[in-house]
Structure 1
């Protein structure tokens, strides 16, 4: 049986992977797919791909585009979630800051440099016409637990993370969400180490076929809202809202989207150059 390692964030977006693994669908095809949760998000997964710790990753679009251009020997094979990610902008509950404009020049908590929380801080700054050199400062906090500690102890002033994942921390008074910042593109893609793909193309195709069959019908799974609410400590009404605005994809990411991501990252001085579509994406 072929062993394949895959990583992703431990969030509701990836429940379809858990369900297909639980059902033994990959093993039925001779694939021992091993899932690993990455609490540190995209930056941590980029490192894992580079070091061969995982073969595939369900990863933020902007993060993997940046890291491939920076030398990560991987390629994007598919869009996984077609809808934008809604990034909540959070402060500590007792923080003096009340609006996004109040955060200009303060310190953003980020999981690591090159992560989604880092890159989206630039997008948010651009959206608000801040000076990218003077109005952005960062404190590395590794993960959500680190953000709780960092904001509570005033090591950092605000933290951007997926709105629904952090909602329980808003509900219990740990964080206060002062605004939202949607990503300007489909949020998650599936990336594969290039060397692994070259030697295991049929296995990758099989994995994608299995997950795609589940995401096509994901919203129609009986009691899926209750399952998500229980598994991810969410309120049922929040899950229902999230399901309404979230769309999965079974398609290859298109040239226009890749151009948009690169244009934005280049304008923000996050990438030094733009690459041809075929150097970033592989159509299977």
Structure 2
């Protein structure tokens, strides 16, 4: 049986995957950590270093719309929006979103969620062409935090609860947040990866997702797992669990979600609709995922 290489990022959303990995013990898949987030996973797809990943919906769709062919969507994962924190240095001069016009914003990689959501923020705020931010690639989470403290960048955007411990410790500050206007996490895979192995992986992961997401788990064990694994404050984990909604069925992709996300990304200047329009098979591997 083919052992899958699964790209992931160290975030509490991936708790069911970690529980699955602990039970699997490397017999059917291995985890490949990608500290640079979805942008790093896209690079690893192109270089053939991962077979499947759980990553940000917007960045995956934007990559496909902008010509990436190394992966396609094979499933869905989280149905709720993602809360992106707007993060600045502990002693920076930036205190509100309005202060960020025309500044240099840190991103992990070109095409990453951190860049896409900075563009969405600009669109939502109605900034003019002259007020558009510039971007500086800083790679992983630690260099991004260092960059706002050195003044090299004004802010960067990252998931709220992942960043909160660094705010609590006084390393960085929040000056706002922005929510994704789409379900925040999806699953993508190499088109060349064996469909049978992908389906088996998704089916088993679905069991772990549903167990983690059950009322009995949410009332205690899920909180304990996130606190112990990610060293977050219990009250933050409880707040996060109250807001997050997992998908019940993973091996499906909604055409409406793809279409709606593309429309918003185009308004934000991230993608451009081709003359012939979008074709769903550009985005979805229907040998694995059912279109709904």
TM-score range, shorter chain: over 0.9
Secondary structure at the residue paired with 1:6? strand
> Aligned partners of 1:25, 1:227: CA distance in 2, in Å?
18
Is this contact kept in 2: 1:124–1:181, CA < 8 A? yes
1:217 aligns with 2:219: no
User: Partners of 1:130 and 1:139 in 2: how far apart?
Assistant: 19
Matches within 5 A, 1:10-21: 10-21=10-21
Alpha-carbon distance, 1:259 to partner? 0.8
Contact 1:122–1:132 (Cα < 8 Å) also in 2: no
Shift of 1:25: 7.8
CA change 1:43–1:133 in 2 (3 A) is farther
Task: State the TM-score, normalized to the length of structure 2.
Answer: 0.90
Residue 275 (str. 1) matches residue 273 (str. 2): no
Counterpart Cα distance in 2 of 1:25 and 1:90: 37
Selected match of 2:134 from 113, 133, 137: 137
Structure 1: 5+ residue runs without aligned partners? none
Match of 1:157 in 2: 154
2:50 matched residue in structure 1: 54
Task: Show the counterpart of 2:196.
Answer: 202
Shift in Å at residue 100 of structure 1? 0.7
Aligned match of 1:6: 6
Secondary structure, counterpart of 2:278 in structure 1:
coil
Looking at structure 2, the residues matched to 127 and 260 of structure 1 have their Cα atoms a distance apart, in angstroms, of 16
- Higher mean C-alpha deviation, range 48-57 or range 273-282: 273-282
Cα distance in 1 between the residues matched to 2:97 and 2:226: 30
Q: Deviations over 1:119-173 (max 9, x none)?
A: 1000001110012564211111101100121011111010100000000011011
Q: Is the 8 A contact 1:49 1:57 kept in 2?
A: no
1:245 counterpart (238, 243, 250): 243
Shift of 1:269: 2.6
Q: Distance in 1 between matches of 2:135 and 2:50?
A: 28
Q: TM-score under structure 1 normalisation?
A: 0.93
Deviation digits for residues 200-247 of structure 1, max 9, x if unmatched?
111111100111111112133352212211211210000000011111
Partner Cα distance (1:7, 1:96) in 2: 37
- The 8 Å contact of residues 59 and 116 in structure 2, kept in 1 or not, is answered as yes
Structure 1: distance between partners of 2:101 and 2:232: 31
- Residue 256 of structure 2 aligns with which residue? 256
Measured against aligned partners, the alpha-carbon deviations of 1:86-111 in whole angstroms (never above 9, x if no partner) come to: 00001111122211111111111100
Q: CA deviation at 1:267?
A: 2.2
Distance 1:132 1:259, change over 3 A: farther
Between 221-230 and 210-219, report the one with greater CA deviation. 221-230
Structure 2: give runs of 5+ residues left out of the alignment. Answer: none
1:26 to partner: Cα distance: 7.5
Q: How far 1:268 moved relative to its partner?
A: 2.5
Moved more, 219-228 or 39-48: 219-228
Q: Shift of residue 261 of structure 1?
A: 1.0
In the aligned structure 2, how far is the partner of 1:54 from the partner of 1:276? 25
Of 167-176 and 125-134, the range deviating more from structure 2: 125-134
Computed over aligned residues only, the root mean square deviation of the Cα atoms, in angstroms, reads 1.5
Distance 1:67 1:259 in 2: 14
